[in-house]
Amino acid sequence: MRRLSLHIGTHKTGSTAIQAAFDGYSWGDARYASLEFRNHSIPFYTVFSGKHQDYHIWRSANLTPAEIEKKKQQLHRLIESEIGSDTRHLIVSGEDISLIDHKGIEAIADLCSKANRKVDVIVYVRDPVSFTQSDFQETIKSGSVLARPPYMNYRNRIEKFLTIFGADHVTFRHYDRSKLVDGDVVSDFSEVIGVRKPRKTATENTSLSTEAVRILWALNSLVPRFTPDKAIKIARTSLIDHLRTVFPGKFQFPESISRSLIDIEDVEWLKHNSGIDFTPVGPRPGPFDNKEYLAFLNAFTDEMTTKLRDHVQGIASDWNDTDDRVGLVARYFMTFLRDRDQRAADFSPGRYLDLNPDVRRAGVDPFVHFVKHGFEKGRRVV
């Protein structure tokens, strides 16, 4: 019988490295599925989630509902073709597959059954504290403002695979370098599915520091996540690259916040079904405190403020200074936007207020207003 090795993540467990290494892979009777995107999350979630119209991939690409529907039909045909192909060992990898509901996973199982293809599911899990640290910064990097940090929810993501494919066809792996083959997730995954490790090397997503995440948190309150403007997108990417240089290090929540997000019953479910124990040591975690969470993210150190001011003044010494945290971040973002857009390059705070007297009357910082409203709405700058 033909095989499908179905890697479902989960998130923040080296999926990007696996996908980059296996993209275009072919060895013996094994082949990495060719589904237009090397991250198979995109085709599978689009086709089987029932939530394709709201999928962030297509919203970021500014596709119309009709275009998204057409894309779904195209990808459905592509998945059917690959599942039904003569390839004896097909490899699929997509962390968003774990987010598809029970009905969607049943549809995948039915498609594989009709193609006489046995499914083996491989799932990597990370301890809840380190998952929250890693996933939160990636979510903030994508432009979101979260009411509370994310939690993995192992049972919700994995139980449907155990039910549909059977426990004998679901392999759990603890995402911890000390427990992976050769300390590497690509080597580990290759051994689990019984293939030669790809010759291509791949790196995993690099971390942002606590300081960088705080600055992006402030920026996200100004810049819309789903914007069609390429200048905004490129400026944001340049800003993130700069943050990595100026504020190196890793992001870390205080232990009180991280532990408060742990669902003890969920962790016990994982231990019972996989033998992997993420039970926190010490007293039972207390409730999540939203005030502590917001205070942590909104805290700007003197060093952060000084570095941002030095950068802004080094590029635009004529811009007026501010003691406001969000206003300073708006000026910081403008130093990158001005390289990509003539309106930002021509921006003068005094002239902007003269040309837009309603902004002056409202007493709003001209930089904050331009970044949050004026740029997108085409407010006059000259």
Q: How far is 251 from 136, CA to CA, in rounded Å?
A: 9
Q: Within this chain, do residues 170 and 49 fall inside the same structural domain, yes or no?
A: yes
* Structural domain span for residue 330: 210-250+300-377
Which of 363, 359, 62 has its CA nearest to residue 381? 359
Does some domain include residue 54?
Answer: yes
What does each of the 382 residues of the chain score in pLDDT, given as a tens digit?
899 999 999 999 999 999 999 999 999 999 999 999 999 999 999 999 999 999 999 998 989 999 999 999 999 999 999 999 999 999 999 999 999 999 999 999 999 999 999 999 999 999 999 999 999 999 999 999 888 999 999 999 999 999 999 999 999 999 999 999 999 999 999 999 999 999 987 665 678 999 999 999 999 999 988 888 899 999 999 999 999 999 999 999 999 999 999 999 999 999 999 999 999 988 888 899 999 999 999 999 999 999 999 999 999 988 988 999 999 999 999 999 999 999 999 999 999 999 999 999 999 999 999 999 999 899 999 8
Q: Does residue 274 belong to any structural domain of this protein?
A: no
Judge contact between 226 and 60, C-beta under 8 A: yes
Asked if the structure places residue 271 within a domain, the reply is: no
State pLDDT tens for residues 59-87.
989 899 999 999 999 999 999 999 999 99
Q: What are phi and psi of 60, to 5 degrees?
A: -65, -30
Q: Considering the domain boundaries, does residue 182 fall inside one?
A: yes
Side-chain-side CA neighbours of residue 359 (13 Å): 22
Strand, coil or helix: 277: coil
pLDDT tens-digit map of 198-242: 998 766 567 899 999 999 999 999 998 888 889 999 999 999 999
Exposed (0-12), middle (13-18) or buried (19+): which is 157, by Cβ within 10 Å? buried
CATH code, domain with 150: 3.40.50
- Listing from the earlier edge strand, what are the strands of the sheet with 89-93? 26-27, 30-32, 89-93, 2-7, 117-125, 170-174
Same domain assignment for residues 187 and 226: no
Are residue 134 and residue 226 in the same domain, yes or no?
Answer: no
Q: Tell the residue number behind the tokens 């603890």, with chain if given.
A: 174
Choosing from 146, 161, 193, the residue where a domain stops is 193
Query: In the prediction, which pLDDT does 203 show?
Result: 64
The Cα 274–Cα 258 span in angstroms is 23
Amino acid at 217: W
* Residue whose entry in the numeric block shows the structure tokens 């069609």: 228
pTM: 0.89
Residues sharing a CB contact under 8 Å with residue 74, sequence separation 6 or more, in sequence order: none
Which pair of tokens denotes residue 64?
Answer: 């119309």
